Chain A
């Protein structure tokens, strides 16, 4: 399977945030607690490529670094280390016109359209401003252009002079999508773009994403904590845990036969329509604080298979099958990992 050239390539990308002391900690310091600023490694040495036209889903528990990685891809955040490439060119090395072109080509669609839409501006301005500013359409053509985009995303162009609060949640999601599409992007980074929507409206928006992908040849990085949504829309899925990608595989394979113990646990927790009155069994404990990630494999305190090496060695993301990658020491053993893939008979034939 020859993969087309990647449109996006992340090479050893990391992002560190310095977390300043909060009020309680400052007070504690007055009493001599001696607390200092802490460093969060929100994204820790991530390497990932996205092919032109592909949909890559990014999943993981809250705080694991999904949004941070999404923002880095969208060029909104600079990585602390590593390289982000768009069509082979490092973003950090682009300047002036080229950088602006790359920034326009990669657009972000946010979770809460209300928070990201200026409440005092009319929809026609929200959608039309950027393409005019960047010279993609002439001012005189803006109105017609906005009407066309609105129609494309299923909004009634007659409503273009209204303000965001005059729309429903689903319509606001469409406004956010229209605004991103208006600058003719190549890549959309969608961060929890359907999380605030009712299932029926979510279905409409997911269908819209799929249609737009065909129509405009878009590439997506689809960030979501909703595995059902990611499974539905993605070609490949990356699973994040405490800043690291722990598994990366084609969507159908990862959902049918997860390799990493964390992926397996995560998938087991997804409520499904099909099984009835399931006993919810549980992955024990919560995701540890990213301020104090566990040593070695970050997952070892919650992992049912953890052994000595897991506490000291960081497992690398390694190829385990064609197109499949996983970061778990069990894959180094002589026996294939006795995961779900091999225990539930009908799943895997080979």
Chain B
């Protein structure tokens, strides 16, 4: 499909030192994931490209069904039938993951690649005690004594804010609150200081107070271990406080990327602007929220050319006939739009 990555400057920010770009820890290029369903073959992820650097948090946002979770699962090699990675490349510290045998992927998962989910029970085993699970997770990848592993597990629980971890270790997951369970899942995911952590809405189901605690802990841990994070959420305000860069997905494509402050303050893509306008906030109290009319298209019926055109206030004939290509903007930004909200920088060839 598109060669979006090769035409773009490499992202700045944490990834550069003295202007020289470092190799990203995670590099996704032109990723295409399809699902064979009753209606035919649908493309859930359609040419997605991004880089994440050491210690960096990339916020992946978009509406339900835009392809965020599928992108996350693809990174971990967890796309199962009827899903299929059709094309593209996913490199972990330069090493290609697509096409790796399942056995090797399993070795990477839980060690260099980790994922946390909205429902922590996706990764926790309900019938095993916490200590059994964590010790197993440590010893699966490292040759250490049971006692040493237990110590590590206790340290890890302490770090994610679980009080009296020694007692907690002997409990079962159902004896914990939702927030505690999510903490255990995070502690387990971070046991081996993974190079990459994919977090799929891990705080969405939690109270703001618990969410804030967990975000604080994750932020600290990632900074400490240099883990690169892909944080998936539909909540722009979470991204505003947590991420360094943001990638906005719509109908399987990234439609805009850039530094968080740039994107939220001066969105280029009308869809990004619409999302920002939809968030209730201080200065919009009592006035109607800007709404994006209509709803996310079903994958079986993605509108032609720019998929956002039926909902877009700026749509023109061009938008309905020609697919907008990824275009670079100042400040290592990218957007795909024929009628962007800010002036385009002179094309740097």
Contacts and interface: CB of A to CB of B under 8 A. Distances in A.
Contact of A199 (B177, B209, B236): B236
B281 interface: yes
Interface in B209-244: 209-213, 215-216, 219, 234-238, 240-242, 244
Interface in B303-339: none
B286 A232 contact: yes
Contacts of B237: 228, 270-273
Which of B179, B180, B278 gathers the greatest number of chain A CB atoms within 10 Å? Answer: B278
Given A199-B279, A279-B216, A280-B219, A286 B291 contact: no
Nearest to B218: A280
B208 interface: yes
Contact of B291 (A62, A204, A266, A277): A204
Nearest to B289: A203
Interface in B252-289: 260-261, 264, 274-282, 284-286, 288-289
B272 to A, nearest CB: 11
Interface residues of B, number: 48
Nearest to B62: A198
A95 interface: no
B285 A232 contact: yes
A287 B178 CA distance: 12
Contacts, number: 141
Given A199-B235, A203-B289, A281-B212, A273 B260 contact: no
A332 interface: no
B96 interface: no
Nearest to B208: A269
A231 B283 CA distance: 10
A227 B237 CA distance: 12
Interface residues of A, number: 48
A275 B212 CA distance: 14
A291 interface: no
B119 interface: no
B87 interface: no
Contact of A207 (B215, B276, B291, B296): B291
B64 interface: yes
Contact of B240 (A61, A231, A252, A272): A272
A99 B254 CA distance: 55
- Most interface-central of A266, A268, A273, A277 (chain B CB within 10 A): A273
B137 interface: no
Nearest to A210: B288
B177 A276 contact: no
B295 interface: yes
A62 B207 contact: yes
A265 B209 contact: yes
B285 A206 contact: no
Interface in B157-198: 161, 163, 177, 179-180
Contacts of B242: 277, 280
A24 to B, nearest CB: 8
